[in-house]
């Protein structure tokens, strides 16, 4: 009986110098992702699960144009949450992002749980963004050029 895979997206799993040793066994596997299933943006840490095995990593193209899933260790959920705060998927001002990292580390150091930290930092980010948008709308700040403020 013929099997029709449609037009899947293909990639191969690879290990690099940062891949944890216990995960290198999964390198060299070709994976077909069926049409309609969104893939993460190239270079953005995410996870894939195949046959019950979850591999963290990111997509990239090698020098020959072959799409690869670079296997990485599971990222720190606090870093993932801070990186995901901007709705467009990336920070425009990396210095601002570093402020969130630094404050996050300080709060964790005094006993704030990761769950509370992530919720609190996201609420602060959203409030600051809402205030910036309101200030722009009221004419108190100039309208930014480019993706500086979400809205």
Report pLDDT digits (tens) over 57-78.
999 999 999 999 999 988 888 8
User: What local confidence, expressed as pLDDT, does residue 14 receive?
Assistant: 96
Q: What is the domain partition of the chain in residue ranges?
A: 9-72, 77-137
How does residue 132 score in pLDDT terms, banded at 50, 70 and 90? confident
* Cβ neighbours of 117 (radius 10 Å): 19
Is 143 or 81 the better-scoring residue by pLDDT?
A: 81
The dihedral of CA 32, 81, 84, 45: what is its sign? negative
Instruction: Kindly list the distances between the CA atom of residue 25 and the CA atoms of 15, 50, 55, in Å, as whole numbers in the listed order.
Output: 9, 14, 11
Question: Long-range contacts of range 15-23, CB-CB < 8 Å, 24 or more positions apart?
Answer: 15/70, 15/71, 16/70, 16/71, 18/72, 18/73, 19/70, 19/71, 19/72, 19/73, 20/72, 20/73, 23/55, 23/71, 23/73
Name the pTM for this structure. Answer: 0.58
Q: Is the pLDDT of residue 79 over 80?
A: yes
Q: Is the pLDDT of residue 147 over 60?
A: no
Percent of the chain with pLDDT over 70: 95
């Amino acid at each position: 009986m013929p099997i029709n895979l449609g037009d899947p997206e293909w990639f191969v799993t690879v290990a690099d110098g940062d891949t944890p040793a216990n995960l290198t066994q999964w390198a060299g596997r070709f994976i077909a992702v069926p049409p309609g299933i969104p893939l993460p943006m190239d270079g953005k840490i995410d996870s894939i699960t195949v046959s019950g095995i979850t591999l963290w990593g990111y997509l990239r193209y090698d020098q020959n144009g072959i799409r690869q899933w670079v296997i990485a260790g599971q990222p720190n959920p606090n870093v993932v949450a801070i990186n995901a705060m901007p709705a467009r998927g990336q920070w425009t001002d990396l210095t601002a992002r570093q402020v969130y990292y630094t404050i996050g580390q300080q709060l964790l150091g005094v006993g704030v749980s990761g769950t509370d930290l992530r919720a609190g930092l996201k609420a602060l980010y959203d409030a600051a963004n809402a205030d910036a948008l309101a200030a722009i709308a009221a004419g108190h700040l100039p309208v930014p050029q480019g993706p500086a403020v979400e809205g």
